[in-house]
Amino acid sequence: MKSLTLELNDVKISHHVEPRETLADFLRERCRLTATHLGCEHGACGSCTVVVDGKAARSCLRLAIMCGESKVQTLEGMEDDTVMGLLRQHFHHGHALQCGFCTSGMLLMARDILLRISEPDAETVRQQLSGHICRCTGYANIVSAIVAAGKEMADAKT
Amino acid sequence: MKASSFDYVAPKTVADASTSLATANATTAAIAGGQSLLPMLNLRVAQPDIVVDLGGLEELKEMSVASDTVRIGALTTHASIEDGLFADVFGGFIQKVASKISYRAIRHFGTIGGSVALADPAADWPGCLMALGAIVRVSGQNGVRSEPIRDFVQGQYQTSLKPDEIIVGFDIPRPAASLNWGVHKVVRKSGAFANSIAFAVSQGRGGPASVVLAAAASRPYVLLKVIEQIATGQISDGALRAAIAEDVAPLVPKGDDYLMRLHTSTVLRAVREMQSK
């Protein structure tokens, strides 16, 4: 076991971890933060997406031990985030989820997209979201919700 | 699945990293962004005794633009190149290549050095850097050495790296004239590894060209017949197709018409895009 200190959802925490533990397992099993879902565990499905040092990351493809001194944010830490608030609202209104398994990853990637690209159109969102799998195939509503949130963000700025 | 147990070290110097990687009676694996190693660890395709984290090595982040050479550190992420690092020097070429690698969340952490060290035959960087004539800088217990990437990448997941060696970065000759380029990639779905990917660059319009095809064989190949054909100025579709066929036929299984057509089309499109600039 090795000691690990990181900032998780704005709180500095320390834990002992096994080197082989992924960030996803660390979050779910040690920190009991289960909004981060594990699907494929090899980077193909996107459901384990979190934010590491401000960038969307696959938490199944980061060793927890590599995140020492990093800032990690999960969906649980996004309660007061303005962009996430907007996305939550549009996902709700636009019925952008069915079973919900992929939703936390979709939301965090959607936030990453909206922070990088102003007012993305549906094609851009589809391209940017292509690393995320929804097996209910609710893509149409997910894409529209993100496009709508992006529009509202742009309108709010003007 | 979950990775099997291993020890983890995060050296602060290249010398220490070298020593750890060469640990006697142990299998070791270097990790940079981890975007290829982690899947292999999770699937237990790789079961190293020690994982050596290169993330803290400042030398691998070194970056510079001199009059004749552009130096890119091995730890440079795909995302930072996609976001415009050295975009102007290469006329947007490496930016375009970076933007097509996997997905953004992977590009945030995956590194150019890691991609070349893994040497996946279908990867984007080895072929791109070959087209640009890049030199790989490698550091190990016997010091630093440089090797053209054409020789460095030897086959499927095979490079000339010794167990104690680490890629420090790449020196790319700075284009003398504005770089004309084309790249065409065929994938089953966005973000997947290429089924075929071709790179074509020339220094200025009509300047000496370099054309590379990856994902066709165990490693990317420079297409010498195609380059010769372009140099003659006879660049009708028919002439180029004949040259491509000569270069590509030895790389694909005999009689596989689909693969011949696939690779012919990616090479032709890359060359045409280069010529259109």
Which CATH number fits the domain that encloses residue A66? 3.10.20.30
The pTM of this model reads 0.96
Which tokens belong to A99? 């079973």
Tokens of A59: 């938490």
Angle at which helices B257-276 and B224-232 pack, to 10 degrees? 40
Select from B5, B53, B105 the Cβ nearest to the Cβ of A20: B5
Range list of H helices, A10-116: 23-25, 82-93, 103-116
B158-168 average pLDDT score: 98
Structure tokens belonging to residue A3:
């000691």
Span A2-50, pLDDT tens digits: 999 999 999 999 999 999 999 999 999 999 999 999 999 999 999 999 9
Q: What is the CATH number of domain B180-276?
A: 3.30.390.50
Distance from CA of A94 to the nearest CA of B (A): 25
Interchain proximity B103–A131, CB inside 8 Å: yes
Q: Which chain A residue shows the shortest CA-CA distance from B50?
A: A19
pLDDT band at A157 (very low <50, low <70, confident <90, very high): confident
C-alpha–C-alpha distance, residues B211 and B223, integer Å: 6
Each residue of B207-224: pLDDT tens digit? 899 999 999 999 999 999
Interface size A-B, in CB pairs within 8 Å, comes to 89
Q: Is this prediction's ipTM beyond 0.85?
A: yes
What is the pLDDT of chain B when averaged over all its residues?
A: 96
The residue among A77, A96, A121 that closes a domain is A77
Q: Residue A116: closest CA among chain B residues belongs to which residue?
A: B83
Give residue A123's domain range. Answer: 81-157
B29: confidence class by pLDDT, cuts 50, 70, 90: very high
Average pLDDT over residues B65-71: 95
Task: Select from B104, B107, B111, B185 the residue whose CB has the most chain A CBs within 10 Å, as the one to mutate to test that interface.
Answer: B104
Q: How far is CA B65 from the centre of its chain?
A: 20
Confidence band (pLDDT; 50, 70, 90) for B160? Answer: very high
Cβ neighbour number for residue A42 with a 10 Å cutoff: 17
Determine the distance from the C-alpha atom of residue A117 to the mean position of all C-alpha atoms in its chain, rounded to a whole number: 16
Of B106, B161, B94, nearest to B132 by C-alpha is B94
CB count in 10 Å sphere of residue B56: 16
Q: Which residue of A has its CA nearest to B33?
A: A62
Let me know: does A91 contact A150? Beta carbons within 8 Å.
Answer: no
Which of A46, A55, A66 is opposite residue B108, by nearest beta carbon?
A55
B201-B203-B206 Cα angle (round to 5): 90
Compute the average pLDDT of residues B238-247.
98
Phi first, then psi, for residue B153 (nearest 5°) are -85, 120
What's the fold here for domain B7-53?
3.30.43
| Binary contact (A22, B42; C-beta < 8 A) | yes
Mutation pick from A5, A66, A133 vs chain B, by most beta carbons of B within 10 Å, is A66
- pLDDT score of B1: 85
Is the same domain home to A65 and A87? no
Question: Does the domain made of B63-173 have the CATH classification 3.30.465.10?
Answer: yes
